[in-house]
Amino acid sequence: MAKLVTQNHPVLHQIAEEVSLADITTPPIQKILKDMRSALESYAVEGFSGVAIAAPQIGIPLRIFMVHDTNVERGSKNPIPDLVAINPVILKLSKKKNIVGEGCLSVGEQYGAVKRSVNATIRAYNEHGILYERGAGGILAQIFQHEIDHLDGILFVDRAEQVWHKDDAHTEKLREAVE
């Protein structure tokens, strides 16, 4: 099983390479997707759950991310749809931005306040090699921006207006304010 790499790993600070369209449905890319899902599901930091992962987070410098909410308590209350984005491109970001709470699987002990566009539209290929466009608001728009940042070698701590340790009381207040 693939393991999550931490914030000082070089692959997290470089621009990831595009996946050849002919390779999307091949066993190596499908294995990367399986490894990404396993790594996301294995994330365990008390009080926090993973909602998405980019290939660089398992040490693979390819332009792939997936959304898969591991928070079973969220359930049907605020569902976040599962999706795979290969070679994603942001087509549009709203001018309206909010400060949102953000963490990262690869930055295990920190949480921060990041300014993100409220809405985002991406174009990407799914795991079957089918091109799609998807608009999103709220947390899904935030996820799109966070994960594409990963593909561009940017971590949320690089954009954060303020960062706290996850055990800090400010972190709990920030999480409550943005949820």
- Identity of the amino acid at 106: S
Does 109 qualify as catalytic in the annotation? no
97-104 sheet: strands from edge to edge: 97-104, 107-117, 162-165
Rg (CA), the chain: 15
131-137 sheet: strands from edge to edge: 52-54, 64-67, 83-93, 119-125, 131-137
Catalytic residue chosen out of the listed positions 147, 161, 172, 176: 147
Angle at 56 between CA 52 and CA 62, to 5 degrees: 105
Residues designated catalytic: 147
